[in-house]
Amino acid sequence: RIYLMGMPVILLYNFEAAIFRSVGETRVPLVALAMSGVLNVLLNLFFVILCRMDVAGVAIATVVSQYVSVGLILACLMRQEGASRLRLRELRLHPTEAMRMIQIGLPAGLQSVIFNISNVMIQSSINSFGADVVAANTAAGNLDSFIYTACNSVYHASMTFTSQNLGAGKYDRIKQGTYACMFIGILYCVLFVLIAQFGTRYLALLFMNADEAASVMDYTQQLSVAFAYATPLLLAVNVLRLSIQGMGYS
């Protein structure tokens, strides 16, 4: 229930951050998110340790930090110069533009739903193999998330770069940007393969103790290597998919 109270500001944060990224400014959302993350940790300590609020304290800390990050970016948007400046008095609904955004956003949202449904089905299959495989999948997934975060920045860069140059009429740069994102992503994939092959047994200890690791390490290694070698396929799909979305064809 408490997390649900924070959903509107999560949507607003993503929208505000997208405005900054659309004009090539990625530092402001990052700084706001970093400050929010630090605040979240401090509020967790305050509500849980001092106020003894248990899970409610953790949830409240998360929601409050999200509101703070949104407020910071909102203040920055109101101080921006140029087309991206926010003027609260001029906020109104433009039906034509709203419909265009729905046409682009709805298919993209359905894609996320499909991904989530498939993940639930995969997780239910994994659960049928027992606790050791579940623990190994969690550890391998945590390792995979580090690389996915790096690759995800490339995916969103491809969409932003495409839409910027489409608007500017610089169509040759769209192709160049897509190639550049693919190249950067391949470097991440090579790094992931090396980590999976040679570092899984050490990095997995970040997420489990040595006794637990002994029984599930073989599974973790197999899963991590499988994730690593499949990452180039994910890279190609997402860079091309988001580049196409950046051109308005979602």
Mean pLDDT of 86-94: 89
Which among 11, 20, 8, 10 is positioned nearest to 156, based on CA atoms? 20
CA distance 9 to 118: 27
Mean pLDDT of 198-215: 83
CA distance 25 to 133: 42
Q: Which pTM was predicted? A: 0.70
CA atoms within 13 A on the CB side of 191: 13
How confident is the model at residue 20, as a pLDDT? 87
194 pLDDT band (50/70/90 cuts)? very high
How confident is the model at residue 186, as a pLDDT? 95
Which among 191, 62, 213, 193 is positioned nearest to 132, based on CA atoms? 213
Whether the predicted pLDDT of 209 surpasses 90: no
How confident is the model at residue 82, as a pLDDT? 81
Q: What is the pLDDT of residues 141-170, one digit of tens each?
A: 888 888 888 888 898 899 889 988 998 899
